[in-house]
Amino acid sequence: MLRFLPYIKPFWKQFALSFAMSPLGVLASVTIPVLLGQIVDGPIRDRDLRGVLWFSFLILLVGSAEAIISLIRRWIMSRATSHIETDIRLDLFDQLQRLPMGFHKSWESGQLLSRVMSDLGLLRRFMSFGMVMLFMSALHIVVVLAIMIVTLWQVGLAVLVLVIPVVIAVVYLLSKFGPLSRRLQDETGDAASSAEESLHGVRVIRSFGRTAYAFDNYDVDARRLRDTAVKRMDLASILWTLLEVFPTVLLLVVLLGVGLGVNAGQLSLGDAVTFVTLLLSLSWPVGGLGFLLSFAREAATAADRVVEVFDAPVTIQSGEQRIADPRGELVLRDVTYQFDDAATPTLSGLNLHIQPGETVALVGGTGSGKSTLVSLIPRLVDVTGGQILLDGVDLRDLDLSQLRSLIGTAFEDPILFSMSARENLTLGRPEATEEEIAEAVRVARAEFVYDLPWGLDTRLGEQGLSLSGGQRQRLALARAILVKPRVLVLDDTLSALDIHTEAEVEEALKSTLVGVTGIVVAHRASTVLLADRVAVLVEGEIAHTGTHADLLATVPEYRELLSADYNIDADLGGEQR
């Protein structure tokens, strides 16, 4: 919880005022039993109706003051903690945006969502009322015990002796409660991930008739979550029951002590009423202590889970250099990349010089490292060896926002967001004009957007699943083109298009690639024809470079990779080159 002090600091006045008002609330609460005792020993004993009415009015006044204090305290804290929750949530989201791709691959989305939403909500609720109520309950118990000891020390001491074993039992139960809370919150994230995965893959699940299988998988997560929740609730029930029964035991002890005190003349009847009423006022502070302590443990666990994300290292840091006149020259020098959990590098010793305005096609078999290589260009991941230079500057030294504004990227598996087609298209360049949007749509052959119910303003479903795979790819391509990048990276962007549409897009791309440095991951020979040169990747190394025609003539591996389209594209290559 101490890690969140910087978020609390701007609201320290609200917290200070709330905690300062807490003793006033406790004072008002213990004043009422004292006034009741004075009524009994005064106006009631003397049969003074006017005195009874006066004390009754005084009690009403004190009770109203207590209620107003509570209202103001809750009003202050609810607003302050809502701001704190929002600030933490925004910083947490910003941290998730900056964390490397390796982090997102190793963490399930449900675990992250549960931290962003439920864990932060739990923290807010604890800071809003749990923290203050815990302080007030402890203060109330201490004040009442002090009054009892001062008034009749024998009874106060007996109560204190009874409190010690209860405190030991509570500490023991809380030590068991913490790990169970952590397990429950982790399993909540697992269940959320399982549900999210099944919902995203519902078409595949249904097409294979595996709804029962998906249900069984989720059933395992749900039952495990239930079992842990039951164990935690069993433990909480013991804790709450112990603290709810304890006031009854205290009441018996106090009644016995007070009875003896009255009989011995040490206490008046009014003092006895005050004692008993004070003890009854402890019912909520003591009984609610179990809930508040378990709540505190849950909040501490939630805080630990959120801090885990904040503590994750941000390995990709922005440089400070900016390129005044970007040209798009790319140089790869001994580039190596190895995943953290891999025994061998995915890319090893890559050297390649791409001139400004030149288009290079990357061709290779599955697992040769093509997609990893194109991920290095916009620094989605960083090289683990060597360097990549853009216009003579190491990518790691460049301002990250400028670097990514100079690079347009379209991936094989396009991601569209639950927003309008226009908003998806202008994601990388919100200031684009209607004419520029229309040109990007034309080049990508994505004119279908105009046929949607509300045209460009039609809201696409989550991940664009209301569109076909080819339509999503064309929108993603148009989005990359609209950025007007100096470097355009296409990672097998046309794989879901039919032959005729692909040919139309490739023809339109030729004019777009003029003056733009292009890197095209290609599996089809027709796509290779967009490139001035071809680099063949074999097991993470650049084995061959050259023109399409030269490689067809001299490199058997290249012919094998393009064997499906070889005859067609050999002829095309001859005609076009």
Q: Where are the alpha helices (DSSP H) in 99-152?
A: 101-106, 109-114, 120-125, 131-151
Question: d(Cα 177, Cα 183) in Å, to the nearest integer?
Answer: 10
**CB–CB of 544/514 below 8 Å?**
no
SS3 408: strand
**CB–CB of 367/418 below 8 Å?**
no
Question: d(Cα 183, Cα 63) in Å, to the nearest integer?
Answer: 42
Question: d(Cα 373, Cα 521) in Å, to the nearest integer?
Answer: 10
Question: d(Cα 139, Cα 434) in Å, to the nearest integer?
Answer: 66
End-to-end Cα spacing for the chain:
67
Q: Which of 290, 344, 309 is nearest to 114 (CA)?
A: 309
What is the Cα 85 distance to its own chain's centre?
13
Enumerate the domain spans of the chain. 2-311, 330-576
Looking at residue 461, what DSSP letter applies?
P
Strands of 393-394's sheet, edge to edge? 347-354, 330-337, 385-390, 393-394
Question: d(Cα 166, Cα 178) in Å, to the nearest integer?
Answer: 18
| CATH class for the domain made up of 330-576 | alpha beta
Q: Which of 354, 356, 353, 344 is nearest to 385 (CA)?
A: 344
Q: What are phi and psi of 489, to 5 degrees?
A: -110, 120
Question: What does the pLDDT profile of the chain (577 residues) look like in tens digits?
Answer: 788 999 999 999 999 999 999 899 889 888 888 888 888 878 777 777 887 888 888 889 988 998 899 899 999 999 999 999 999 999 999 999 998 888 888 888 888 888 898 899 999 999 998 899 999 988 988 888 888 788 777 777 877 788 788 878 888 888 888 788 888 888 888 888 888 778 777 767 877 788 888 888 889 989 998 999 899 888 888 887 887 787 778 778 777 877 777 777 776 777 778 778 887 787 778 767 777 888 888 899 899 999 999 999 988 999 999 999 999 999 999 999 998 878 899 999 999 999 999 999 999 888 888 989 999 999 999 999 999 999 999 999 999 999 999 998 888 788 888 889 999 999 989 999 999 999 999 998 899 999 988 999 998 876 666 788 888 888 989 999 998 899 999 888 877 677 788 888 888 888 888 889 999 998 777 888 889 999 999 989 999 999 998 998 898 888 888 865 544 444 444 433 3
Q: Is the pTM of this model over 0.85?
A: no
Residue entry with tokens 């919880």: 1
CATH 1.20.1560.10, domain 2-311, yes or no = yes
Looking at residue 344, what DSSP letter applies?
S
Q: Residue 420's beta-bridge partner residues? A: 459
**CB–CB of 166/95 below 8 Å?**
no
Residue 351 in tokens = 């050297």
Q: What are phi and psi of 382, to 5 degrees?
A: -105, 150
Locate the DSSP E strands across 144-292: none
Residue entry with tokens 């929740």: 229
Contacts of 86 (CB under 8 A, 6+ apart): none
Q: How far is CA 531 from CA 15, 362, 510, in A?
A: 64, 9, 9
SS3 208: coil
